[in-house]
Each structure stands twice: as C-alpha cells, then as structure tokens.
Amino acid sequence: MVTIKSKKEIEFMREACKVAALTHKAIEENIKPGITTWELDQIAEKTMRSLGAIPAEKNYPSGFDDVPNFPASTCISINDEVIHGIPSKKRYIKEGDIISVDLVALKNGFNGDAARTYKVGKISKEAERLIEVTKQAFFEGIKFAKKGNRVGDISHTIGEYVKSQGYSVVKEFQGHGIGRQMHEEPGIPNYGKAGKGLRLEPGMTLAIEPMVIQGKPDILELEDGWTIITEDGSLAAHYENTILITEKEPEILTII
C-alpha cells in the first residue's frame, strides 16, 4: 500500500531521517583501517539510541524459516559484497577497502533509511570512480522524482546512467516506499522503462538506492542467508537517501 504522509507524519519522517544522517556522520568519523565492522555497528547503534531512535534493521525478519533474523544494527558490506553484510568482531577493515553501510533509524514510529559507500584510506582510481558514479546515479534519478512523473522515470534514468558509465545495476534488489514500515509500496527498481509505474504524488516518501557493480550484474547469496556478493568478484557500491515528493523539487531527508 502506498501511503501519502500528512504534514505531521512528514515531520516525524524528517526526525527519523535526521537521525540516519547523523549516524552516517558518526560512521564516517570513525571508519579507519583496523576497526572491526562490529565496532562500527556499535557506534551506529549507540548514536541512534542517543538521539531517541532505535536501529530498525536489528532483528529484521529474513522471511525464511531456516535463516535467522538480521543480527546487527547496520548492514556493512566490503568490496565485492553488494548489500546486507553482517558486522563481525572478526572482520577488520583494511586500507584500500570500500565499505557500504546501510542503516535505518526508527523514531516516533517512522523510518529513515540511508546508505553510503566509504573509502578507507587511499583506494584505487577504479574504486573511487565506482563510488562517484553510484552516488551520481541517485542524483540523476531524483531529477525525475517530481509530482506527475512515474516511478519508471526514476528507474530508467538510474539504469541508463549507470550503463553509460560502463557499470551494471543490481536487478534483484530495489528501492522502495518508506514510512511507518521500512519497506512500503512502491518498489523502485534501478532499471526500467520511462513512463511506466505508479504516478508520483506530493506526500510520498521514497528510499531510492542505486546498487552498482563494477563488472557483470550477476550476484550470489552467501550461506548466512543475508550477504549478497558479486559473482565475478568485482567491486560494488551503494548509495541511498530517503526523499519526499513535494509540489516542486524533491526534498532529500537524509542529508543535513
């Protein structure tokens, strides 16, 4: 079900999204060689709770009887891991890594969702370009996140931009509506046909999230039932913000 947010609900969304943005700032300040992904996860959880929110990803259901709920407060994915990496006390971040952190803050019953790919120290020029293209794909897409346009206009623009840069988008996972639930309608793929899909209306809040692979688009799921990696071992990057559809330009809620 697609939800149109009231003015009061939009203010609640802004608060949750501000927590998500501040949590990313804390991650960015602490990410460095030698820190574990578990330590970063703890920093994120403490930041959210200090701001009156809770980490919505913690104990998020897998949907499968043989796969446990997500055990951490953030998804932290390294290099060829696309999304849903599980933080670990044994996983140390190294110089030259690229680290994708996806987090959701739940405050006053509403969710704020954002993802970033961070560089650790000096990284390769190829990795640098991948991160920049992934981020720019988001900004290309939201040029069409306007009243009267359709979801497919966003999806098509993201996919075509990524393709023009020589990269691939992940087709099995997508962006989504967001509000009281972390995942609401509509689904927002990172590819598709312009002019198709739901028509955008003011008051809609959407999580738009290009997931971009340096090589072929094929992915694999690890035995933990969560972590998604590139099949060919190439690097992947992730960039996401929660936005609000308005009467004019979209408002990005998770950038402060």
Residue 1 belongs to a domain: no
pLDDT at residue 111, as a whole number: 98
Laid out side by side, the sheet with 168-169 consists of 168-169, 211-213, 236-238
Q: Is 70 exposed, middle or buried (0-12, 13-18, 19+ CB in 10 A)?
A: buried
pLDDT band at 56 (very low <50, low <70, confident <90, very high): very high
Residue 248 belongs to a domain: yes
Question: What are the tens digits of pLDDT across the range 235-249?
Answer: 999 999 999 999 999
Mean pLDDT of 71-92: 98
Q: How far, in Å, CA of 206 to CA of 252, rounded? A: 10
pLDDT at residue 21, as a whole number: 98
- Radius of gyration for the chain, computed over Cα atoms and rounded to the nearest angstrom: 17
Mean pLDDT of 42-59: 98
Residue 2's contacts (CB-CB under 8 Å, 6 or more residues apart) are 177, 184, 185, 186, 198, 204
Residue 31 belongs to a domain: yes
Q: Does residue 79 contact residue 229 with C-beta atoms inside 8 Å?
A: no
Looking at the structure of the chain, the number of domains it has is: 1
pLDDT at residue 31, as a whole number: 98
Residue 2 belongs to a domain: no
pLDDT at residue 1, as a whole number: 80
Mean pLDDT of 42-60: 98
Residue 160 belongs to a domain: yes
Mean pLDDT of 216-226: 97
> Which residue(s) pair with 48 in the sheet?
none
Q: Which residue range(s) make up the domain with 80?
A: 7-252
Mean pLDDT of 84-106: 98
- Assign residue 152 the CATH number of its domain: 3.90.230.10
